[in-house]
């Protein structure tokens, strides 16, 4: 009885943002989930990534299938890790506790919801502000010359104004809530298809038709072509390590498992199909037409003849940056800070704190040294795929999809484990993360680093199950021994 709280006690210990979403408030349908991740697919960094695949020597067919295979694997993992959110209405920060313990959940929670989210928020806001500057500059050419040589820690006056404006738009969505996000992504969906589909058609015309693009000859893959191909699939999945971990923050709004499953599977695969066609057409078509590939979609937009086409294209890119920022950074950061300080911080105040920190770190300065920043982010990603592996193993194999909500929201409930830490989860995460990243430093293990998403998630999944089962067997033996001792004593 001591481990169970009354609903009133729950209200006192947890902010309402962390309590399960009420069934009558779960109104996200297939359409919401179909389009929610579009911004995470169609953004500037994603197109640069595909350019990197061609630079490695992959053919058009290999690039296409690496994208599509990754999209299928991704959609399945997103649906699976989103199952608990839909079934119980709980956010990622609370779901973490079922695997890691009340205190143990702080480690993966801080990695995902605070450090990675805040850093990426800053980067995406800066990237979006660059597109914002292009948009305003096309409508008002003098805008880019504002302030002359004046700068704010290396950022021009027009750049600073664009950053502040775009940052402010992101903040407005914090106060608009999850319902506003649902309406926003429905508006974004047709724009993405129109703009990026139009870019693909433009590039195909530049190249002289689809045939020259299909017959494009790459420089060839150096090394094991199978490993390089799988490494590209892993690289695409690794960029999703964060959304995979906290997908419950969105599926908790689903009206049913069918809605979130159908919406995410159809949405991700169809969106990636368009992305595959658009990215290949843009990169290969521009190389055929101009002699050099254009990897940055903003550079493509600037070559358009129509000001209207430029305006609508840049606006859509701004919106996709905004979409990925909200879904991938602001929402998980808000929930995680709320979970760390449940009595003091709500979701909105936590998200605002993250947004402010994202401004203070001055991402335009951090991006001057791209190598160190992306090494840091790759390490974060390498540790987050094991987190997803542990979560999947615990929910589907150990818990068999059955969680106890009263125990989860109790101070000393089942999910407190020993002193608030579930050691098997922490050990599995650290070991799998270390093995998946060791290839950065030890050449003999380079293949594990090249396939870091697969190695991290699969190893964590297996290690966690082995460690938990060993504990269960050991605990059972202790109980049997105690029972025998009692019988003998009697």
Among residues 375, 470, 483, the alpha carbon closest in space to that of 428 is found at 470
What average pLDDT does the chain have?
Answer: 84
**C-alpha–C-alpha distance, residues 313 and 307, integer Å:** 10
Q: What is the per-residue pLDDT for 429?
A: 95
In contact, 257 and 83? CB cutoff 8 Å: yes
471 in any annotated domain = no
479 in any annotated domain = no
Residue 348 vs residue 369, higher pLDDT = 348
Q: How many CA within 13 A on the CB side of residue 434?
A: 7
Element at 156 (helix H, strand E): strand 155-156
Among residues 433, 436, 423, the alpha carbon closest in space to that of 470 is found at 423
What average pLDDT does the segment 79-108 reach?
94
Phi, psi of 89 (to 5 degrees): 70, 20
445 in any annotated domain = no
**Domain total of the chain:** 1
Tens digit of each residue's pLDDT (9 = 90 or more) over 156-167: 999 999 999 999
**C-alpha–C-alpha distance, residues 39 and 262, integer Å:** 19
**Residue 69, CA distances (Å) to 116, 276, 334 in order:** 26, 11, 32
Annotate 188-213 with DSSP letters as a single string: HHHHHHHHHHHHHHHHHHHHTSHHHH
Question: Is a pLDDT exceeding 60 seen at residue 4?
Answer: no
Q: Is 457 helix (H, G, I), strand (E, B) or coil?
A: helix
Q: What is the per-residue pLDDT for 489?
A: 63
Q: Check which CATH number belongs to the domain holding 295 and give it.
A: 1.10.4160.10
Quote the tokens at residue 279: 């990215």
3-state secondary structure 272-324: HHHHHHHHHHHHHHHHHHHCCCCCCHHHHHCCCCCHHHHHHHHHHHHHHHHHH
Quote the tokens at residue 11: 């209200």
408 in any annotated domain = no
- Residue 251: exposure state from Cβ atoms within 10 A (0-12, 13-18, ≥19): buried
In contact, 46 and 212? CB cutoff 8 Å: no
385 in any annotated domain = no
Q: What is the per-residue pLDDT for 191?
A: 78
Q: What is the per-residue pLDDT for 295?
A: 66
Element at 185 (helix H, strand E): helix 157-207
In contact, 92 and 335? CB cutoff 8 Å: yes
**C-alpha–C-alpha distance, residues 130 and 119, integer Å:** 17
Quote the tokens at residue 264: 């995410």
Residue 191 vs residue 468, higher pLDDT = 468
Query: Domain containing 252: what range?
Result: 21-368
Tens digit of each residue's pLDDT (9 = 90 or more) over 114-133: 788 888 888 888 888 888 88
351 in any annotated domain = yes
Quote the tokens at residue 319: 């919106």
In contact, 415 and 394? CB cutoff 8 Å: no
**C-alpha–C-alpha distance, residues 24 and 7, integer Å:** 18
Quote the tokens at residue 169: 């738009």
Q: What is the per-residue pLDDT for 11?
A: 40
448 in any annotated domain = no
337 in any annotated domain = yes
Phi-psi region of 316 (alpha: psi -120 to 50; beta: other; left: phi over 0): alpha
Q: What is the per-residue pLDDT for 410?
A: 86
Residue 454 vs residue 472, higher pLDDT = 454
Tens digit of each residue's pLDDT (9 = 90 or more) over 271-292: 999 899 988 998 888 888 877 7
What share of residues in the chain are helix, strand, coil (percent, to 5)? 80, 0, 20
Tens digit of each residue's pLDDT (9 = 90 or more) over 294-336: 766 777 777 777 777 778 888 788 888 888 888 778 888 888 8
Question: Is a pLDDT exceeding 70 seen at residue 177?
Answer: no
Quote the tokens at residue 9: 């006690």
């Amino acid at each position: 009885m001591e481990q169970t709280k009354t609903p009133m006690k729950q209200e006192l210990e947890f902010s309402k943002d962390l309590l399960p979403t009420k069934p009558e408030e779960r109104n996200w349908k297939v359409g919401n989930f179909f389009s929610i991740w579009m911004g995470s697919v169609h953004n500037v960094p994603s197109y640069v990534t595909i350019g990197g695949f061609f630079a490695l020597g992959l053919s058009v067919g290999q690039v296409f299938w690496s994208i599509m295979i990754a999209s299928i694997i991704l959609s399945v993992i997103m649906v699976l890790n989103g199952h608990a959110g839909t079934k119980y209405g709980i956010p990622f920060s609370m779901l973490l506790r079922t695997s890691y313990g009340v205190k143990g959940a702080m480690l993966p929670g801080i990695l995902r919801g605070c450090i990675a989210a805040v850093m990426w928020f800053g980067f995406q806001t800066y990237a979006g502000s660059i597109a914002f500057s292009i948009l305003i500059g096309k409508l008002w050419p003098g805008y880019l010359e504002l302030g002359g040589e004046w700068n704010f820690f290396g950022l021009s006056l027009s750049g600073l104004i664009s950053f502040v404006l775009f940052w402010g738009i992101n903040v407005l969505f914090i106060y608009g809530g999850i319902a506003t996000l649902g309406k926003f992504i429905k508006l974004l969906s047709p724009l993405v298809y129109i703009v990026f589909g139009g870019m693909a058609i433009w590039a195909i015309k530049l190249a002289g038709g689809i045939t020259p693009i299909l017959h494009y000859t790459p420089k060839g893959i150096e090394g094991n072509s199978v490993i390089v191909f799988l490494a590209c699939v892993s690289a695409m999945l690794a960029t999703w390590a964060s959304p995979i971990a906290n997908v419950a923050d969105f599926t908790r709004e689903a009206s049913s498992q069918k809605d979130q499953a159908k919406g995410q599977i159809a949405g991700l695969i169809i969106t990636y199909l368009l992305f595959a066609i658009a990215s290949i057409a843009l990169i290969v078509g521009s190389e055929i037409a101009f002699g050099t590939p254009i990897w940055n979609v903003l550079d493509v937009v600037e070559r358009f003849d129509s000001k209207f086409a430029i305006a609508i294209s840049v606006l859509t890119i701004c919106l996709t940056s905004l979409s990925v920022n909200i879904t991938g950074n602001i929402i998980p950061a808000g929930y995680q800070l709320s979970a760390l300080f449940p009595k003091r911080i709500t979701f909105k105040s936590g998200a605002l704190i993250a947004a402010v920190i994202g401004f203070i770190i001055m991402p335009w300065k951090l991006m001057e040294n791209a190598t160190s920043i992306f090494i840091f982010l790759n390490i974060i990603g390498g540790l987050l795929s094991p987190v997803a592996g542990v979560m999947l193993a615990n929910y589907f194999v150990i818990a068999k999809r059955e969680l106890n909500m009263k125990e989860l929201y109790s101070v000393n409930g089942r999910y407190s484990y020993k002193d608030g830490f579930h050691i098997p989860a922490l050990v599995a995460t650290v070991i799998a993360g270390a093995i998946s990243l060791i290839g950065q430093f030890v050449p003999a293990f380079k293949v594990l680093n090249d396939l870091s998403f697969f190695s991290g998630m699969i190893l964590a999944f297996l290690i966690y199950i082995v460690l938990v089962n060993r504990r269960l067997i050991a605990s059972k033996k202790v109980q049997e021994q105690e029972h025998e001792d009692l019988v003998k004593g009697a």
